[in-house]
Structure 1
Amino acid sequence: MKKVVLLVFLAFVCFVPSTFGAVPAKNFVIVDATSNESFVPIRFLNGYNGISMTWTSTDQRIDIVKEQVHLTLFVGKTAATLNDESVQLSTAPFNDNGITYVPLKFVSEAMDMQLIWDKDSASVKINQGEVSASLPFINQGKNTNNSKPIVSEKKTFKVGKKSFNVQMVTISLLHPKIDLDVVLASDTIGKVEDLSSLAKRNNAAVAINGTFFDAYTTGEFKSPYGYIISGNELLHYGDRRTVFTYDKNNLVQLIPGDEFQDRFKQGTIEGGLQAGPRLITNGKVSLDVEKEGFKDPKILTGAGARSALGITRDHKLILITTSGATIPQLAEIMKQAGAYQAMNLDGGASSGLYYNGKYITAPGRKISNAIIIRNQ
């Protein structure tokens, strides 16, 4: 009897589309650069603001329903229906790496969704009533599953007459195996821990030191400076400096500190931390340390060990460490590295970068917090 039940179960699984199987949790919109058509994964729509969806495997039929609106589409076919009325789509739904995509324009118009495209963050905000979500978008053909999720390399960048040896790790954020997190030393505010210990304890493939902290206090409690968010929970408050954030789809953004509280109240920020100053805005070097609240007169002239992060337009996270650089020089390095947005992290003796089980830049002290990347 047990064998019969098992065979029936296995047969059922074989006919369930991979969209409902062990698929990556991240959602993103695919854009066809030639036709300018965009496509959204059906798994994102399922459950979004009361939308329900059913899939019929025999004819690859997709039914999307909300209240009085009923859409029926078929993978590979441009024939569809809207409330039983025949509709001809300009492009057909398709499968890609086990995920089914449907035309976003057709669905959004039928479901009364508002689309707001943000080219600077390469994302689209989908609003329906009081509910909204932002999804990263990529050009069709950029197969995130087939790319290498993490690349580590040593590079040399020249700024003016000076050359800088840089340790650089690049992470493909939309790769299904990549998971971002912000972690605390000993899982507690005010503690410190070796970066390698923190990384190994959290099963990190990559780890870089995070925000500033009171490293020179004689007491055991060494308070971090600025916002720290992990697991959708605000662990520490901050000020006006730049905040690095990410959501459940690994859409990463740099937010001014004075805008952070309003953004956090929207409930989409999964994690992040505050450091600064900001180095790159929309592909251009941008340094406004006074606006961010930095008061040290040597902030722009002092040279030392540096850590920084950058975001590319195709959703890659660049983590770098270097030595002997001023903040303006660091900004030029990040621009040459391909960052479209970038910010400084804690530096000096805190500067450290861990990859694949070992240091590629060893910090000179224990640290308070870190950004980590897991390769699941």
Structure 2
Amino acid sequence: MNKKRASWILLLLFIILGVSLSLGIDRLSLRANSLDSSISYDVVERSHYKIHTVTIPHDSNYAVVPVVSGELQSIQDFVNQDKGKVVAGINGGYFDPINHKTTSFIVEDSQIVADPRFNERLVDNPDLKQYLGKIFNRAEFRRYNCQNEVQYDIGLHSSPLLSNCTLNASLGGGPGLLPQNTSVAEAFIAYQDGKQIRDAIGSDSLNARSAVGITPSGDIILAMAAQKPEMPLNSGISLPELTDFLASLGAVKAMNLDGGSSAALFYGDRVIYGRVDREGKEIQRPIKSVLLVQEMK
């Protein structure tokens, strides 16, 4: 074999080796991308509602953070206050639209920043006196720091904290939906002599509703069920339907959030509102609190 031919063969071998290495790198790159955890957004439409969901994987670089405002403001305003870091959000807990005070406990940076016990329109309401103990012990979404790892949980306000963990933030709502419905324990529903005498949020009726759920692996699901504009008076979802839907997505813990005109979800640089008026137009109501999905530093 002459030197010229040997050089061509050697060059050909280098080319083949280079292509193989390149393909190998491409395969590794594709494999890495396929394992990369990212937020997902989905829409499920049925005859009488459309549910928008945002799922945040437990191993992603995002945190679900409760945020409260002194005055009512739109969900877009909440997002704009931390623009660039917020990728998703959903309306939060209950509030009084008259005095703008909370009816739900909210904790930020391990401090109570919203306390329903100081809402005079709530505590001085004679119709609610007998229920106050239960109202102050409603379900809440909690964010913990557990030895430098973030963990989430849902339980009643009186539930003990996770061991070896620090409570960083929480947002009250209710009722708890999974693993069981706690509407009676939280005074959303009340009975007397076997007859229902109270249903504060029309649990079995169709309405726009919002909720948050947690899967066994720790993924967080934000869900907002919107009414249909073409069916303004007969659309939405009931609380039992919403519970079944969250369970179908794998949630084992879930909590209802404020609904109706407050129901709203932010994703993809737009806000989706849940409630519509009689003409089918979206109702954009200012709210007291939100759960925001923020990129962690």
- State the TM-score bracket (shorter-chain normalisation): 0.5 to 0.7
> What is the deviation of 1:264?
8.9
Instruction: State how far apart, in whole Å, the 1-side matches of 2:59 and 2:112 are.
Output: 24
Of the structure 1 ranges 270-279 and 241-250, higher mean CA displacement relative to structure 2 is found in 241-250
* Deviation sequence 1:241-283 (CA, Å, 0-9, x none): 1111011332110121232xx53998711111110111111xx
| Structure-2 residue corresponding to 1:150 | 39
- Select 2:141's aligned residue among 232, 241, 244: 244
> What is the deviation of 1:353?
0.2
CA gap 1:315/1:263 in 2 versus in 1, 3 angstroms: closer
| Structure-2 residue corresponding to 1:140 | none
Assess if the C-alpha contact under 8 Å between 1:241 and 1:274 holds in 2. yes
Q: In the alignment, residue 56 of structure 2 is paired with which amino acid? A: I
Assess if the C-alpha contact under 8 Å between 1:183 and 1:371 holds in 2. yes
Instruction: State how far apart, in whole Å, the 2-side matches of 1:305 and 1:168 are.
Output: 14
| Structure-2 residue corresponding to 1:290 | 184
CA gap 1:211/1:146 in 2 versus in 1, 3 angstroms: same
Q: In the alignment, residue 199 of structure 2 is paired with which amino acid? A: P
Q: In the alignment, residue 257 of structure 1 is paired with which amino acid? A: H
Instruction: State how far apart, in whole Å, the 1-side matches of 2:56 and 2:178 are.
Output: 18
Q: Summarize the alignment of residues 178-217 of structure 1 with structure 2, pairs less than 5 Å apart.
A: 178-185=62-69, 188=70, 191-203=71-83, 204-215=86-97, 217=98
> What is the deviation of 1:302?
2.6
Number of corresponding residues: 215
Instruction: State how far apart, in whole Å, the 1-side matches of 2:163 and 2:100 are.
Output: 28
> What is the deviation of 1:210?
0.3
Q: In the alignment, residue 144 of structure 2 is paired with which amino acid? A: D
- Whichever of the two has the greater Rg, that structure is 2
> What is the deviation of 1:352?
0.3
Assess if the C-alpha contact under 8 Å between 1:308 and 1:342 holds in 2. yes
Assess if the C-alpha contact under 8 Å between 1:167 and 1:361 holds in 2. no
| Structure-1 residue corresponding to 2:245 | 333
| Structure-2 residue corresponding to 1:370 | 290
Instruction: State how far apart, in whole Å, the 2-side matches of 1:367 and 1:288 are.
Output: 24
Instruction: State how far apart, in whole Å, the 2-side matches of 1:266 and 1:214 are.
Output: 35
> What is the deviation of 1:292?
1.3
| Structure-1 residue corresponding to 2:175 | 277
Assess if the C-alpha contact under 8 Å between 2:58 and 2:217 holds in 1. no
Higher helix share: 2
RMSD of aligned Cα (Å) = 2.5
| Structure-2 residue corresponding to 1:61 | none
Of the structure 1 ranges 290-299 and 236-245, higher mean CA displacement relative to structure 2 is found in 290-299
Structure 2: runs of 5 or more not aligned: 1-31, 117-135, 190-197, 227-235, 275-282
Assess if the C-alpha contact under 8 Å between 2:48 and 2:237 holds in 1. no
| TM-score calculated relative to the size of structure 2 | 0.66
| Structure-1 residue corresponding to 2:8 | none
* Deviation sequence 1:190-222 (CA, Å, 0-9, x none): x1111011112123111100001112x1xxx40
Q: Summarize the alignment of residues 82-161 of structure 1 with structure 2, pairs less than 5 Å apart.
A: 146-156=35-45
Assess if the C-alpha contact under 8 Å between 1:245 and 1:271 holds in 2. yes
Structure 1 stretches of 4+ with a deviation exceeding 4 A read: 264-267
| Structure-2 residue corresponding to 1:230 | 108
> What is the deviation of 1:237?
3.0
Instruction: State how far apart, in whole Å, the 1-side matches of 2:248 and 2:73 are.
Output: 32
